[in-house]
């Protein structure tokens, strides 16, 4: 049976094989028609017989994708917080904790020693802390680097989106490089501040796990030590959860 794992983020979607942890991860930016784009891409490599999906997208898109995949003969299951209920969280309403955050923590529990902090750096940045006893204490959510730039551009006049993605100096000498310098440096400083605040509670040697599209940016700019980057963490968590479902 050809079974794939599919991760639907806010900006990108990616997939990999269920049975082979060494299999390649295929990443794609959404097309103008996300559902047809996903189905078309999956058909290129032979439509799987079964898909397990972790999605942070809206329910309307999820339903449309479900119907389209079923029409192609694919069995689909969207993973939810209920599938992750073994994870001990202090969230007041566990159903409000995103499935992607659950899966990242489940993956980290398999691969890393407690306590740890997971920074998932995508469209939004989520920072989740798990203590020495394996309890999710909660976390913080912050705009991603590109989102910071977009909000600034959309709410000001005469400030345009920069063509580049990084600034090599904080001493900006143009509006464009000023946007880059401010949002990039501010983004890194904010994430570092959140992590440091959590480490004051958990211990200075608490493992920091970076994942997501901007993980490398943070890896290159945050102070070193007790730090790992893992961009397949969510798939490790998905494999753990699917194994329990199939058991």
Of the residues 7, 83, 100, 214, which is catalytic? Answer: 100
Distance CA 236, CA 231 (A): 10
pLDDT for the residue numbered 157: 80
* Architecture of the 3-78 domain: 2-Layer Sandwich (3.30)
Residue 155 near residue 142, CB atoms below 8 Å: no
pLDDT for the residue numbered 173: 79
Evaluate if pTM is beyond 0.85. Answer: yes
How is domain 104-233 classified at the CATH fold level? Answer: Nucleotidyltransferase; domain 5 (3.30.420)
In the chain, domain spans: 3-78, 104-233
pLDDT for the residue numbered 162: 66
pLDDT for the residue numbered 183: 86
pLDDT for the residue numbered 149: 86
Two domains, one topology: 3-78 and 104-233: yes
Catalytic residue status for 131: no
pLDDT for the residue numbered 164: 63
pLDDT for the residue numbered 216: 93
Tens place of pLDDT for every residue, the chain, 247 residues?
699 999 999 999 999 999 988 888 999 999 999 999 999 999 998 899 999 999 999 999 999 999 999 999 999 999 999 999 999 999 999 999 999 999 999 999 999 999 999 999 999 999 999 999 999 999 999 999 989 988 888 898 877 766 666 666 788 878 888 888 888 899 999 999 999 999 999 999 999 999 999 999 999 999 878 899 999 999 999 999 999 999 8
């Amino acid at each position: 049976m050809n079974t794939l794992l599919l991760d639907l983020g806010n900006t990108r979607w990616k997939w990999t094989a269920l049975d082979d942890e060494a299999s390649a991860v295929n990443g794609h930016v959404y097309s103008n028609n996300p559902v047809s784009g996903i189905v078309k891409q999956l058909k290129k490599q032979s439509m799987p017989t079964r898909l397990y999906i972790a999605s942070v997208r809206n329910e309307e898109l999820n339903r449309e994708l479900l119907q389209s995949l079923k029409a192609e003969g694919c069995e689909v299951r969207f993973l939810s917080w209920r599938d992750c209920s073994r994870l001990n969280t202090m969230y007041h309403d566990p159903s409000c904790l995103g499935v992607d955050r659950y899966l990242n923590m489940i993956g980290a529990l398999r691969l890393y020693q407690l306590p740890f902090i997971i920074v998932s750096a995508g469209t939004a940045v989520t920072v989740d802390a798990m203590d020495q006893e394996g309890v999710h204490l909660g976390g913080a959510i912050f705009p991603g680097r590109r989102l910071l730039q977009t909000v600034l551009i959309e709410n000001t006049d005469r400030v345009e989106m920069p063509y580049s993605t990084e600034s090599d100096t904080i001493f900006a000498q143009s509006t464009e490089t000023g946007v880059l310098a401010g949002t990039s440096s501010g983004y890194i400083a904010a994430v570092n501040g959140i992590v440091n605040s959590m480490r004051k509670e958990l211990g200075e040697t608490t493992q920091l796990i970076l994942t997501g599209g901007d993980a490398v940016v943070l890896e290159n700019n945050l102070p070193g030590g007790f730090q790992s980057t893992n961009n397949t963490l969510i798939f490790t968590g998905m494999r753990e959860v699917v194994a329990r479902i199939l058991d």
